[in-house]
Amino acid sequence: MERERPKISVVVPVYNVAAYVEKCLASLAEQTYPNMEVIVVDDASSDGGGELCDGWADRDPRFQIVHFPENRGVCAARNEGVSRASGAYIAFVDSDDYGEPALLETLYRALAESQADVSVCGDDGLGLEAAPAAVYSREEAVRCMARRSPFLWTAWGKLFPAEAVKSCLFDGRFSYGEDLLFFYQVLQRVDRIAYVPAPLYHYVFRQGSAVNEGVTEKRCTVLAILDEICGDAALRRPELADGFRQIAMNTSVRLAMQAVESGMPGDRLSGCLQRFQQHVRRHFTWKALALRPGKKDAAAELLLYASTAAFQAAGAVLRRRGTAKE
């Protein structure tokens, strides 16, 4: 009877994470959900990680490995996995992360029992505040993302209907923040999102990952993505627009604070802060600001909107306080 449950396809893009990929794939091999396949796409790894993946395919028939002859990026790797997926549902797992054995089982039960379209679990690693289990509408889900609680727009930690994923492939124009555009596109095709607070997905902070590179031009591509999303939402999904405007403002503030904390040279810092200020001003509305539950977050957005010099001074004070506590 268990075998009659729909197949779940798990897509794992792999690139130069040999130190982590074994733990990731082992966690998938231990999944309690009985009907799954794991599609691992090796994006021309040069550290021996591809060979480690081959070993899993040799030992476990649920695993299939695809090797790219040259590096094509995470979007291409995920899209290749999606194209090969035969399951009714698709989940994504990053190759430096790992899941609890009940990850897929819990995501599927949450989706099936609530008759939702997408399910989301809690995570361990991002420090997001958990909330009670709930089923959210599309608009409520965007408000959750705008509050950064209880979940974000990551592709991982979620279970999607394969039909929606196959019509919303990852956009290779962007090298950072591609999950955000993907999730926005998926939202156009679903109505209900089930959330379960259990922290079943483990996000691993890794030196060398994009999120730990500092304020780079690569990371700033997320601003262009948010410009695209906010413009589209204003025209086609006005009920979602303020939620994404808040995400845009908060993203700029977070990047601005990281720029201040990084101690980058004054001229470069000034240019960065002006860029982030322009982004905040472009997307600012009072309704969007009101979506921030924390007064400090809202105050930071207003401060950057008003003055880069004042924002820099406030950030420097916070940086000194943090240094003094260390």
Helix (H) or strand (E) holding 311: helix 308-325
Whether the Cβ atoms of residue 33 and residue 110 lie closer than 8 Å to each other? no
Long-range contacts, stretch 109-114, CB < 8 angstroms, 24+ apart: 110/159, 110/194, 110/195, 110/196, 111/159, 111/194, 113/194, 114/192, 114/194
| Single-letter code of the amino acid located at 88 | A
Place 4 in a pLDDT band, splitting at 50, 70 and 90: confident
pLDDT in tens, 276-312: 999 999 999 999 999 988 888 899 999 999 999 999 9
Return d(Cα 109, Cα 91) in angstroms, integer.
14
Question: Is the pLDDT assigned to residue 210 strictly greater than 70?
Answer: no
Q: What percent of the chain has pLDDT over 70?
A: 93
For residues 28 and 42, give the distance between their C-alpha atoms in angstroms, rounded to a whole number: 16
Whole-angstrom Cα distance, residue 203 to residue 243? 25
pLDDT at 323 > cutoff 50: no
* Whole-number Å distance between alpha carbons of 77 and 65: 11
Question: 324 pLDDT exceeds 70?
Answer: no
Q: 26-60 as b/e, with b when 16 or more CB fall inside 10 Å?
A: ebbeebebebbbbbbbbbebeeebbebbeebbeee
pTM, full prediction: 0.93
Residue 213 has pLDDT above 80, yes or no: no
Distance CA 148, CA 154 (A): 11
Element (H, E) at 15: none
Neighbours of 101 (CB within 10 A): 15
Interior CA angle at 161 toward 226 and 229, to 5°? 10
Q: pLDDT: is 235 or 175 the higher one?
A: 235
Among 98, 99, 63, which Cα is nearest to 81's?
63
Alpha carbon separation from 101 to 25, 27, 67, 69, 128 (Å, rounded):
11, 6, 26, 32, 21
Q: Which of 182, 162, 164 is nearest to 172 (CA)?
A: 182
